[in-house]
Amino acid sequence: MIILGLSGALGHDPSAALLIDGEIVAAAEEERFVREKHAKNRLPEQAARFCLAHAGVDARRVDVVAFPYAPIALTSPARWHYARRHWYAPDRAIDALVNGNRRYRRNRDRVMDLGVRLGIDWGHSQFVPVEHHLAHASSAYHLSGFAEKTAILGVDGKGEYATTFFGYGEHGHIHKLHELYDPDSLSGMYGALTEYLGFEMLDGEYKVMGMAPYGDPDKFDLSRLAGMNGAGVTVDTRYVNTVGLRRYKEDGVGFFFGRKLVEWLGPRRTNDAADEPYVHYAAAVQKLFEDRCLALLELHLGDILRETGRIAFAGGGALNVKLNQRIVALPHVKELFVQPAAGDSGTALGAATFVAAARGERLSRMRHVYLGPAYTSDECLAALRASGGSLAWRKLDDVVGETARLLAEGHPVAWFQGRMEFGPRALGARSILGCPHVHGIADRINAEIKYRERWRPFCPSVLDRIAPDVLGTSHPAPFMTITFDVTPEWRDRIPEVVHADGTARAQVVEPGHQPRYYELIERVGELTGAAVLLNTSLNRRGEPMVCSPSDALAMFSGCDLGHLVLEDWLVTKAAA
């Protein structure tokens, strides 16, 4: 069966994923093609075209178009909860009751139109809506490869109405146990504080997480933002997750937090520094988020964790690597699987896998993210020739050996190899690399290339053989979705990828998926004694990750980086 999953229902992170007989053949985010971060308010047209073309599938042969957004019945508690909790914005409350599936219908109509543009034959293809949180849950559970009963956690801003999902997977089926509904959203609260701290919501959350270790989480008690109640949390919408007239506004622009938050904590942060009191607010909201998620996890899924120790986690909240570290540390947890595209882009994969599983197809563990476009060496050469006169290039006989030597000498290197990653992390296909023992390399990449905030951490790719020594655990970590405490003996050896709190958000690199990247880390290990690389995404601040060779060359030309390895070609700046 050919299933095309499409995301983009919530107005951000559209993506496409193609499943053929249960196998993920291709997946990509729209932002990479349109060169606009999060590709807001778009549908994944170019991503879908790529997936079909890559697989050589005629759009007319697609059996199912799966979409992660579904109608919610008026009999569901979701719409009533929403209406009751939004009494202060009566237009919203009434709308949820009398016209609560308007967004679904609009989405469906847009996807039907997109299908026509793609060449899909709606006489043959079936449009299947999947509840947003079931799509997130499916993207984690069905791709975890866990055979035992598995706890499933979904923490997300908001789908149709649900914000948080508790369930379990068994024998290939997902069972829903409990949900929280809008506005009671812990991810929403985190997003509101992200805005308050001067970052963009649905983008800057990981910056808040990066800032948190610099602050004291106990200096301010933010618990009033989201109080525990029986089976869930109640978010105080006077402070956060605020809509309508209660919103805080500046120059006519409304924020997702209320005026009361500013009265309480002071003016929102507007500069680029990690300074007081904002670092403490970042630390406090991070702690509150972790504590509430862990309390709810114990409440709803504790029994399952004690039974089998398996947990699958998705939704934007699953990209909170510090929370994930605490989940892994829970006494009964044997393994946490975080689907690498845990945010909304991954719901394309989630909707597709949900339909596949429902129709009896077997799905196996997702072992890598190299699901996007690849380019031949000749295509790279054509892009080089078209790039204008400011670059020089030569073909490398020994790509791995020469790149390893550059890295060992202390140079950062842009690295473009094979199929682009699906999901927000660069994992060795579109990366900027450096040797993490080279003093100052993180600052150099920050200042000269990424132009990003100085206090944000860089992350390591660690060769599988030495990962237990470096991270003190053999827990799987292929996707940079969990932080680990770096062992004391390694902290001094790779200081440039250890965060202020002694942790690292590591990728453990295994052989077979990106062979050149694996060999490169091995070779660096031979040259330097440490088979670890600093690995950050190949893009400039505010831009999506590079997709094509011409994207890479435009990015390379516009920064101070000296070396780009573009498939077999070493690209440098031509002498003036």
Would you name the residues annotated as active-site residues?
12
Least distance CB 156 / Fe ion (angstroms) = 4
Size of the site for Fe ion (CB under 5 A): 2
**Residue 569 burial class via C-beta count within 10 angstroms: exposed 0-12, middle 13-18, buried 19 and up:** buried
Q: Which is nearer to Fe ion, 15 or 417 (CB)?
A: 15
Least distance CB 188 / Fe ion (angstroms) = 11
How many CA within 13 A on the CB side of residue 295? Answer: 15
Q: Which residues of 254-282 are buried (b: 16+ CB within 10 A; e: fewer)?
A: ebbbbbbbbeebeebbeeeebeeebbbbb
| Distance of alpha carbon 555 from alpha carbon 438, whole angstroms | 24
Least distance CB 347 / Fe ion (angstroms) = 6
Question: Does the protein bind Fe ion through residue 182 (CB under 5 A)?
Answer: no
* Interface segment toward Fe ion; rule CB under 5 A; list 34-42, 149-157, 196-204, 296-304: 149-157
Q: Which is nearer to Fe ion, 353 or 548 (CB)?
A: 353
Q: Which is nearer to Fe ion, 315 or 428 (CB)?
A: 315
Question: Does the protein bind Fe ion through residue 13 (CB under 5 A)?
Answer: no
Sign for the CA dihedral angle at 264, 270, 271, 272 comes to: positive
Tell me the three state secondary structure of residue 416.
Answer: strand
* Interface segment toward Fe ion; rule CB under 5 A; list 109-117, 185-193, 216-224, 338-346: 338-346
* Interface segment toward Fe ion; rule CB under 5 A; list 70-78, 151-159, 244-252, 488-496: 151-159
Q: Which is nearer to Fe ion, 319 or 463 (CB)?
A: 319
Residues between 425 and 464 that touch Fe ion (CB under 5 A) = none
Residues between 255 and 274 that touch Fe ion (CB under 5 A) = none
Q: Which is nearer to Fe ion, 156 or 160 (CB)?
A: 156
* Interface segment toward Fe ion; rule CB under 5 A; list 93-101, 102-110, 324-332, 341-349: 341-349
Write out the DSSP string of 356-377. Answer: HHHTT---------B-S----H
* Interface segment toward Fe ion; rule CB under 5 A; list 154-162, 297-305, 398-406, 510-518: 154-162
Least distance CB 155 / Fe ion (angstroms) = 10
Q: Which is nearer to Fe ion, 7 or 431 (CB)?
A: 7
Least distance CB 131 / Fe ion (angstroms) = 11
| Distance of alpha carbon 167 from alpha carbon 131, whole angstroms | 14
Least distance CB 319 / Fe ion (angstroms) = 11
Nearest residue to Fe ion, by Cβ distance, number only: 156
| Distance of alpha carbon 246 from alpha carbon 242, whole angstroms | 6
How many CA within 13 A on the CB side of residue 340? Answer: 25
Q: Which is nearer to Fe ion, 131 or 344 (CB)?
A: 344
Give Cα separations from 574 to 151, 378, 393, 394, 564 (angstroms). 55, 21, 9, 12, 13
| Distance of alpha carbon 546 from alpha carbon 561, whole angstroms | 15
Strands 483-485 and 503-505: antiparallel
Closest by alpha carbon to 404, among 516, 536, 556, 558? 516
Q: Which is nearer to Fe ion, 67 or 484 (CB)?
A: 67
Rg (CA), the chain: 23
Least distance CB 457 / Fe ion (angstroms) = 25
* Interface segment toward Fe ion; rule CB under 5 A; list 148-156, 250-258, 402-410, 486-494: 148-156
- Identify the residue among 45, 184, 344, 551 touching Fe ion (CB under 5 A): 344
Least distance CB 67 / Fe ion (angstroms) = 13
Q: Could you tell me how far CA 316 lies from the centroid of its own chain?
A: 7
Closest by alpha carbon to 68, among 340, 366, 344, 357? 344
Question: Does the protein bind Fe ion through residue 156 (CB under 5 A)?
Answer: yes
Closest by alpha carbon to 423, among 490, 372, 379, 477? 372
Q: Could you tell me how far CA 446 lies from the centroid of its own chain?
A: 21
Q: Which residues bind Fe ion (CB under 5 A)?
A: 156, 344
